[in-house]
Structure 1
Amino acid sequence: MSEPAPPRFDGEEADTGEPTADGSDPITESEATEIQTGAQSVVAALERAGAETLFGVQGGAIMPVYDALYDSELHHVTMAHEQAAAHAADAYGIVSGTPGVCLATSGPGATNLTTGIADADMDSDPMVALTGQVPTDFVGNDAFQETDTTGLTAPITKTNYFAQHADEVGDTVGEAFALASEGRPGPTLVDLPKDVTNGETDAEPGEAETPETYNPQTVADEEAVRDAARTLEAAEKPVLLAGGGVIKGEASEEVREFARTYGIPVATSMPAVGAFPEDDELAMEMVGMHGTGYANMATTHCDVLLAVGCRFDDRLTGGVETFAPDAEVVHVDIDPAEISKNVHADVPLVGDAATVLEQVSDEMGRASDADPEEVAEGYDEWRDQCREWKAEYPMDYATPDDEPLKPQFVVEALDEATDDDAIVTTGVGQHQMWAVQYWTFKEPRTWVSSHGLGTMGYGLPAAIGAKMADPDKEVVSFEGDGSFLMTIQELAVAVRENLDITVAVLNNEYIGMVRQWQDAFFDGRRAASEYSWCPEFDKLAEAFGAEGFAVSDYDEVASAVESAMAYDGPSVIDFRIDPAENVYPMVPSGGANGQFALSEDQL
């Protein structure tokens, strides 16, 4: 008797087959297999929806789905922890633009997913979570590994489902997949009771489609478009503020064309980094708590703010009453709930970002017959002012010989050593801010981080998901020592999958951002923020099977970076950086963006 085919798990390449003689796609073995259980219908639905890679951890209640995956061409990546599975799926969705998929069992498996689900929800990232559940008859009886998963995740998902029947579960999964990316993206979840996935069925799941009742508005009201165009034409000091919705809505090209056509300076929220190239003369870069001085000055002093796909969170605005105080706000967003939620919109434009920008551009100049060059000329003095702010508040830093290695230098060294389209992932803390401040981003979907939820430990599993989504791009993950320790076990996954990723640990032996705030606002009382007990990360990396490096001096940086980037597999560089270095500019929480601090004595 021949041996059974091995499962398509843990790095094994899927055989996609060759085209048929008429050019149509081949019928794969999994497609030819007759559906017999709800679990097989779940897998068929994922295949039909276009999923390719899944991230998860096995367990009792999800076991029927994994058994169905055994015969599937889908590539499953077994993660070391469910939270990391969710972060990897999240990053996969950010980089690919299609929903990432994560799986976990019931009870602790599902609860471990929730941090990653909440992260994706805050950042509007497309993701589908599939969770096992105890049999339907046991629900509510405190059965082994039972948790009310749909109740727990209702506030942190776009929608979720409790699967009811084996005949319907495939269509439910397909709908969840479609909803995750349509309109404003976000995570969806399907809870799968074991009797449903084990239940018999011959129902083939249909196409992955959203419900007929789900019809997000994509084209803005014509009168609002006219108001927006007239407002911009009358402006003398406009700023285009790109939010994360620009990248989610595939509107980066439209933003670039609009800004360059009319000569409008562009600032970005942190989730929108890469939407507009930061080496462009119109780029003011990131605005907000740790944004550039010139971006904060531009948004504070503009007279019209064209905000596209932006939710105006507190890290961006500082005190709402002091944010863009003299500006008429033109707000474009596909989610009407975001309009005037935090910042009042004088001209609300509900619709798809790319579509609405084209509408406004088509309307510009019609009332006065002015061509784009004439409109742009009206902003000449404003662009000069923005250039002056760039000169006055440069993003520079000192490297004294008598002080330890500066983290900014490390970020710039890695940026210099990589391609323009290299993907950067981060954890959360000071290292995240240095990465976004000192790396020059030129392309969308190359900055992958935790923004709204601020989840430490995001960087390494995100690097795994990003590399799976785009294997041909270089992936660099910046982590802090505290952040890295939260998900360091995923190095085992990176080694097993032989993923060519580079982890740069900016190691200052502190939870650095906490330490910075304690020094500034808590009289230097460093409670529970000192991490002098951290391991030697280079040696720990080697214990996992990765390549490890330790760097303390400037003259060691270039060679370590070169060796790490050349290594064909995961590598970790433990950069022992200056523990006293702080992140600036900085706007104190709730402060005015135009009154940013450049040193601690200005706080």
Structure 2
Amino acid sequence: MSEHQPMPETDGADDGTDRRTDGQSADAAGERPEGAATDAEGAAADAADQTEDATDAAGERAAQTGADSVVASLEAAGVDTVFGVQGGAIMPVYDALYGSEAVTHVTMAHEQGAAHAADAYGAVSGEPGVCLATSGPGATNLVTGIADADMDSEPVVALTGQVPTDLVGNDAFQETDTVGVTTPITKSNYFASSPDTVGEDVSTAFALANHGRQGPTLVDLPKDVTRGETDAQPVEPEVPDTVRVQERAPADEVAAAAETVAESERPVVLAGGGVVKGDATDEVYEFATAHDIPVVTTMPGIGAFPEDHDLALEMAGMHGTGYANMAVTMTDCLVAVGTRFDDRLTGGVDSFAPDAEVVHVDIDPAEISKNVEADHPLVGDAATVVDQLADAMPRSPDTAEWVAQCEAWKAEYPLDYRAPEDEPVKPQYVVETVDAATDDDTVVTTGVGQHQMWACQYWTYTQPRTWVSSHGLGAMGYGLPSAIGARLAADDDQSVVCFDGDGSFLMTCQELVVAVREQLDVTVFVLNNEAIGMVRQWQDAFFEGRRMASEYPWVPEFDKLAEAFGADGFRIEDYDDVPDVVEEALAVDGPSVVDVYIDPTENVYPMVPSGGDNGQFALTEDQL
């Protein structure tokens, strides 16, 4: 069943304050709606109504206002880091955060950055990331990040300010129907209606974001609700009784699937993002290695199976390896775990795994047979169901010839590239060099484009939660703010590296100010080809080379731009620079940016044209 909950119908609004950090009210300029209180009046009332850091008999923070209740609920959920941008309608919540010793707030440069940082925090930690924004433009600026989290099933809780309830629907200053805007891109969202229940709303949103198939939730917080008095105490996150998630698949269906796997001659395990999010990597590893079954991953599933293992075929799909795509095309039994079979993976559905019986394991029944028909649908928690499948196996399939065939495909279609010394630096070489210079548990984040694909293909991922990117939405600009969120979620001894493109980096480079201010140890490699490279590649291949709006006639010197922000800047212009500069940049104890001048003619291959047959991948443009 779906975990989406019915939403109350309402419009969003704000009380007339703008989002300027100096606290100046728009009321002074005559923009305050008639009858609305000024911020100064509200602040005076707040000061009269609140006592500083009050605690109850149990030593817990006692909630005096709805805003206090919001913060207390975050504390009860174990939240230690939140990302956001201050503003008028969310100001009472920020005032309550001022008194919290448990929750650290990271002020981002833009609300989109806050959402992406929270998304990456959830991806690396496995626990919901939290972002805050004010009403109107603050809330709408979160939308890209929320949509990204929804597409990739990342746990995020968004808290948005809203105008007082008596102004909702009046087109008040900075009013937006945030609940209406975000309903299609959240698991659940709430319009907080009372100071007495707002804390429970936040706790429920947190629980739902982390329950079953993870995803984003949102609570819209009218200013009169967060300012209103309450004696409600915080509650720990709890999923509503109406929400049901099936943990185990029916035994008879598991037994039938196991028999199909045992009888197969060419089985493949397809590990999707749900394997990582469901903490099922150990179970998938044990199942595949016990029965000598090759493993392919989706792009969100990178890290679900160690890519240095003999059974690893790495990523399949549009820019997947030739050997992964051959295996998926020729398999007679596809054991797909935690994947939604999106079009970047399947290409044309009719040509995807055409001879396979499909065993589909997924916690969300809505994904079963949505894109690819499942012969054996197994709804349930990935780790649990894979264990069930392992226990039900009557015998191992005879895969010796099949494994040998997959090894032959690896030799026939290796990931390689030409790197003449008299030509510009190849981006693949840079990715490989950084990989060799860092530990296996290094977290890699990316923006979206060619650089993202090179980071997929030429980095060897051996551990889960070390690959963080925008998959389903494909949001350019994701790389840097996600590196910030990943840095704050990762262990102190883990490195965090971001591969970005010049086009993607320009969309969110303002977040460098956050990395510098917080002294976050992140290293950004801008693979600079002075173009939106993937668009240019498609224009050359499918639009007869008409490069409209894909090339940049001028871009800044990103190393100098980094220095202007206060980060360390480096530049790579030829092959001799690469090893030393990579080492120097990684050694910086804080943020650094490396502007890498790469070959502007380099493209991403293999490539399957959109809607094409994965078994007919192109290795050069001439083959498209």
Q: Same fold (TM over 0.5)?
A: yes
Task: Give the ranges of 4+ consecutive aligned residues of structure 1 lying more than 3 Å apart after TM superposition.
Answer: 27-33
- SS for the counterpart of 1:587 is coil
Give the C-alpha shift of residue 588 in structure 1.
0.1
Give the C-alpha shift of residue 420 in structure 1.
0.3
Distance in structure 1 (CA, Å) of the matches to 2:407 and 2:57:
61
The 5 A counterparts of 1:25-40 are 32-40=60-68
The 5 A counterparts of 1:213-228 are 213-228=242-257
Is 1:601 the counterpart of 2:622? The answer is yes
Segments of 5+ residues of structure 2 without an aligned counterpart are 1-54
The 5 A counterparts of 1:151-190 are 151-190=180-219
| Contact residue 421 and residue 575 of structure 2 kept, 8 A | no
Could you tell me which residue of structure 1 aligns to residue 435 of structure 2? 415
Could you tell me which residue of structure 2 aligns to residue 574 of structure 1? 595
Could you tell me which residue of structure 2 aligns to residue 46 of structure 1? 74
| Contact residue 63 and residue 234 of structure 2 kept, 8 A | no
Could you tell me which residue of structure 2 aligns to residue 12 of structure 1? none
Matched letter for residue 304 of structure 2: A
Distance in structure 1 (CA, Å) of the matches to 2:434 and 2:178:
41
State which of 242, 260, 264 in structure 1 corresponds to 2:293: 264
Distance in structure 2 (CA, Å) of the matches to 1:219 and 1:102:
33
Distance in structure 1 (CA, Å) of the matches to 2:503 and 2:452:
12
Distance in structure 2 (CA, Å) of the matches to 1:568 and 1:254:
37
Distance in structure 2 (CA, Å) of the matches to 1:185 and 1:545:
36
Matched letter for residue 541 of structure 2: A
Could you tell me which residue of structure 2 aligns to residue 18 of structure 1? none
| Contact residue 316 and residue 345 of structure 2 kept, 8 A | yes
The 5 A counterparts of 1:65-214 are 65-73=93-101, 74-214=103-243
Matched letter for residue 171 of structure 1: E
| Contact residue 187 and residue 215 of structure 2 kept, 8 A | yes
The 5 A counterparts of 1:250-399 are 250-365=279-394, 370=395, 375-376=396-397, 378-399=398-419
State which of 417, 421, 431 in structure 2 corresponds to 1:401: 421
| Contact residue 31 and residue 44 of structure 1 kept, 8 A | no
Matched letter for residue 494 of structure 2: K
Distance in structure 2 (CA, Å) of the matches to 1:563 and 1:403:
24
Give the C-alpha shift of residue 215 in structure 1.
1.4
State which of 504, 508, 523 in structure 2 corresponds to 1:487: 508
Deviations 1:33-89 (A, max 9, x none): 431100000000000011110000000000000000001020100000000000000
- SS for the counterpart of 1:331 is strand
Structure 1 residues 496 and 28 mapped into 2: Cα distance closer, same or farther (>3 Å)?
farther
Distance in structure 2 (CA, Å) of the matches to 1:131 and 1:460:
23
Give the C-alpha shift of residue 28 in structure 1.
11
Is 1:527 the counterpart of 2:544? The answer is no
Is 1:460 the counterpart of 2:460? The answer is no
Deviations 1:414-471 (A, max 9, x none): 0001000000000000000000100000000000000000000000000000000013
Distance in structure 2 (CA, Å) of the matches to 1:588 and 1:282:
27
Matched letter for residue 555 of structure 1: D
Distance in structure 2 (CA, Å) of the matches to 1:298 and 1:91:
31
Matched letter for residue 303 of structure 1: D
Give the C-alpha shift of residue 272 in structure 1.
0.6
Give the C-alpha shift of residue 598 in structure 1.
0.1
Matched letter for residue 331 of structure 1: H
Distance in structure 2 (CA, Å) of the matches to 1:161 and 1:257:
41
| Contact residue 481 and residue 506 of structure 1 kept, 8 A | yes
Is 1:499 the counterpart of 2:528? The answer is no
Could you tell me which residue of structure 2 aligns to residue 583 of structure 1? 604
- SS for the counterpart of 2:423 is coil
Matched letter for residue 584 of structure 1: Y
The alignment of Structure 1 onto Structure 2 pairs a total of residues equal to 568
Is 1:249 the counterpart of 2:278? The answer is yes
Distance in structure 2 (CA, Å) of the matches to 1:174 and 1:33:
15
Give the C-alpha shift of residue 543 in structure 1.
0.2
| Contact residue 30 and residue 72 of structure 1 kept, 8 A | no
Could you tell me which residue of structure 2 aligns to residue 510 of structure 1? 531
| Contact residue 464 and residue 499 of structure 1 kept, 8 A | yes
Segments of 5+ residues of structure 1 without an aligned counterpart are 1-26
Distance in structure 1 (CA, Å) of the matches to 2:227 and 2:56:
23
Matched letter for residue 405 of structure 1: V
- SS for the counterpart of 1:54 is strand
Distance in structure 1 (CA, Å) of the matches to 2:328 and 2:107:
45
Give the C-alpha shift of residue 224 in structure 1.
0.8
Distance in structure 1 (CA, Å) of the matches to 2:348 and 2:451:
25
Matched letter for residue 317 of structure 1: T
Matched letter for residue 333 of structure 2: V
Give the C-alpha shift of residue 29 in structure 1.
12
Give the C-alpha shift of residue 310 in structure 1.
0.5
Distance in structure 1 (CA, Å) of the matches to 2:556 and 2:61:
50
Give the C-alpha shift of residue 332 in structure 1.
0.3
Structure 1 residues 33 and 583 mapped into 2: Cα distance closer, same or farther (>3 Å)?
same
Distance in structure 2 (CA, Å) of the matches to 1:512 and 1:72:
45
Deviates more, 1:467-476 or 1:310-319: 467-476
Give the C-alpha shift of residue 400 in structure 1.
1.3
Q: TM-score, normalised by structure 1?
A: 0.93
| Contact residue 240 and residue 308 of structure 1 kept, 8 A | yes
- SS for the counterpart of 1:272 is coil
Distance in structure 2 (CA, Å) of the matches to 1:266 and 1:434:
20
Identity among equivalent pairs (%) = 72
Could you tell me which residue of structure 1 aligns to residue 50 of structure 2? none
| Contact residue 82 and residue 104 of structure 1 kept, 8 A | yes
Distance in structure 2 (CA, Å) of the matches to 1:343 and 1:570:
43
| Contact residue 240 and residue 264 of structure 1 kept, 8 A | yes
Deviations 1:289-337 (A, max 9, x none): 0000000000000000000001000000000000000000000000000
| Contact residue 161 and residue 189 of structure 1 kept, 8 A | yes
Could you tell me which residue of structure 2 aligns to residue 63 of structure 1? 91
Could you tell me which residue of structure 2 aligns to residue 437 of structure 1? 457
Distance in structure 2 (CA, Å) of the matches to 1:98 and 1:466:
12
Matched letter for residue 552 of structure 1: E
Structure 1 residues 28 and 515 mapped into 2: Cα distance closer, same or farther (>3 Å)?
farther
Matched letter for residue 598 of structure 1: L
| Contact residue 238 and residue 304 of structure 1 kept, 8 A | yes
**What's the RMSD between the two structures over aligned residues?**
1.1
Distance in structure 1 (CA, Å) of the matches to 2:296 and 2:275:
12
Distance in structure 2 (CA, Å) of the matches to 1:99 and 1:118:
15
Deviates more, 1:464-473 or 1:135-144: 464-473
Give the C-alpha shift of residue 472 in structure 1.
2.7
Distance in structure 2 (CA, Å) of the matches to 1:105 and 1:533:
35
Give the C-alpha shift of residue 532 in structure 1.
2.7
- SS for the counterpart of 1:160 is strand
| Contact residue 495 and residue 570 of structure 1 kept, 8 A | yes
Deviations 1:208-231 (A, max 9, x none): 101001110010011110111110
Matched letter for residue 173 of structure 1: V
| Contact residue 497 and residue 524 of structure 2 kept, 8 A | yes
- SS for the counterpart of 2:415 is coil
State which of 558, 564, 567 in structure 2 corresponds to 1:537: 558
